[in-house]
Structures are given as structure tokens and as C-alpha cells.
Amino acid sequence: MIRVVLVDDQELVRAGFRMVLGAQPDIEIVAEAADGAAAVTALREISADVVLMDVRMPRMDGVEATRLILAQPDAPKVLILTTFDLDEYAFAAIRAGASGFLLKDVPPDDLLSAIRSVHAGDAVVAPSTTRRLLDLVVAYLPNEARPTRDPRVLTAREREVLLHVARGLSNVEIAGQLHLAEATVKTHLGRILAKLELRDRAQAVVYAYESGLITTRPKG
């Protein structure tokens, strides 16, 4: 059973997620919170596996809440829910340790898949929205806290895999693009994470943008 906490200041949004998640035999909603501070307090008292976290809320936003929650022992995974006009907050939350982000209008099946993937230890950076989201947030990124590991530690193939990951491709899609077995792509990704001292796929996407491997161009 996957124990989930819903964190959003809008009751109607929580009700919608509650309806979708409550119908699943392997998912249990163990708590809800209307702001980040309430979520941090609740998670000191209960055990959870995954937190669905809004980013902009009263009292404490999702970025600070994510940072505090993940500093606790046996912390749950945090999955950020965002809208286009708040993407800089979602990006900051991933840097704070969240396992990924989704748009709030994500189809129910994709939401369920993301929760299960995060619970299993993977990271979720929605392939259909990664490039658009990061194009929007890159202008807001501070110059501080730049990556400490030089991308030149990667082989040419590892660098190629990282670029595809940063563009939002899944392992299966990368395998097809590079004519590799999916298991080989997973092996390359594991080496990339180890060499760059990154935790997961979400941090790999962030690294690719912050290190300049991926750049955005002005539209128009």
C-alpha cells in the first residue's frame, strides 16, 4: 500500500485528487494539508511514502516545505504539482530534493503512474512538458550554487544520454533514438548519476541546464 499525503490550499483540488487516488487498491490517503507548514507538522506525526505537493500556498510554500520534509529521518518522496505561471517554484523544489514534477491538469492515469514510479524509487519529470517548463524557468535561475562536477568526466555516449534525458525522453525513447537496448541506457544513466554525484533523473535534468549542456533560446 502506498501511503500518500495531499498538500494543496484549494479544497476542490484536493477533492479531485482524493477521488482519483481513493479508487486505487494500492494507494491510501493518510493525511491532507492546506499549506506547507501544516504538511511539515503532519509528517512529523505520521508515516507516508509520497507527498503530492503544491508550490504556492499560504504560510509556507511548497519549496520550503519540501526542504524541511526531506530533512526528516525516513522522509517520504515529494512529487511537485505545478502550473505554468509558477514553474520557477517547481524548479526550486526539485533542487530542494523533490523527486519530480507534474502539471496539475495531468491525466489521472499519468498521475497514478507517477506516484507509483516515485514510490518505487524513480524520478518523474513529465516528458511532454520538461522542455517547455525549463524554457520558462531558466531565466529565473540564480547564478549561485552552480554544479560542482565537470561534465567532461562523462564519456561521449554518457553525455549523449544525459542530453536526451534533459530533453524529457524516457529510457525507451532514448534507446530508440540511439539504437541501444533499454538496459544499456539504464546502465549509462546509472554511471552518469554516479560520476556527477546526482541523486536521480530529476537532478540530472537540473544539472544539464545549470551546467550549460542544454540552453534555451528566446522565442520569436
pLDDT per residue over 60-96, tens digit each? Answer: 999 999 999 999 888 999 998 877 555 566 677 777 8
User: What is the rounded CA–CA span in Å between residue 201 and residue 155?
Assistant: 18
Mean pLDDT over all residues of the chain? 83
- Residue 57, helix vs strand vs coil: coil
- The model's pLDDT over 29-72, given as tens digits with 9 standing for 90+, comes to 999 999 999 999 999 999 999 999 998 898 899 999 999 999 98
Predicted pLDDT of residue 134: 56
Give yes or no for a contact between 67 and 38, defined as CB atoms under 8 angstroms apart.
no
98-127: average pLDDT? 82
Which distant-in-sequence residues (6+ apart) come within 8 Å of 21 by Cβ? Answer: 4, 6, 27, 29, 112, 115
pTM of the model: 0.64
* Phi, psi angles (nearest 5°) of residue 219: -80, 155
User: What is the rounded CA–CA span in Å between residue 6 and residue 107?
Assistant: 17
Give yes or no for a contact between 99 and 200, defined as CB atoms under 8 angstroms apart.
yes
The pairing of beta strand 2-7 with beta strand 27-33: parallel
Q: Where are the alpha helices (DSSP H) in the chain?
A: 11-22, 36-45, 62-70, 87-95, 108-119, 130-137, 156-166, 171-178, 182-196, 201-210
The pairing of beta strand 50-54 with beta strand 77-82: parallel
The pairing of beta strand 50-54 with beta strand 2-7: parallel
Q: Which of 199, 71, 200 is nearest to 125 (CA)?
A: 200
- The model's pLDDT over 134-192, given as tens digits with 9 standing for 90+, comes to 555 555 455 444 556 788 899 999 999 999 988 878 888 899 999 999 899 999 999 99
Indicate the DSSP class of residue 76: P
Predicted pLDDT of residue 147: 55
128 forms bridges with which residues in the sheet? none
